[in-house]
Amino acid sequence: MHIFEGPESEEPSEDVGLVQQNALGLQSMQAFMVKGNDTVENRIAVIGIIIREREAQAGAVNAILSDFGHMIVGRMGLPYRERDLSVIALIVDGTTDDIGAMTGQLGRLQGVAVRSAFTL
């Protein structure tokens, strides 16, 4: 698997990943990965995470999210005290393989439920 990156110049080329500066000053990169002769573009996904055992799993959940932090565009976490749950909503920009790897690791944690919706 190869990742094509743009040259280290001020202006990115149209045939390589684009680097853009958003309003918060964070950088977002669109990467193109090649498997054989197929080019795979990043996709946007919305991921919902429900944590039933917050105190036991918070460290493991945050470690996994940190490992995949390069593709997280936005994160919102809410304690739902009335139901003794924590809810995390993520917006991610990554390949389906990377997103699947992250959600798979999260879903294997006891007391953690994960669902995702992808762009077309």
Domain of residue 97 covers 43-118
Same domain (yes/no): 14, 73:
no
Same domain (yes/no): 34, 48:
no
Same domain (yes/no): 58, 114:
yes
CATH of the domain at 58: 3.30.70.1150
Q: Strand, helix or coil at 9? A: coil
62-67 contacts: CB < 8 A, separation 24 or more?
64/102, 64/105, 64/106, 64/109, 65/90, 65/102, 67/102
pTM over 0.85, yes/no: no
At residue 77 the predicted structure's pLDDT band, cuts being 50, 70 and 90, is: very high
Residue type (1 letter), 39: T
Beta-carbon contacts of 52 under 8 Å, excluding residues fewer than 6 positions away, are 84, 85, 111, 112, 113
Q: Strand, helix or coil at 114? A: strand
List, for residues 3-30, the tens digit of each pLDDT value. Answer: 444 444 444 443 333 233 332 333 333 3
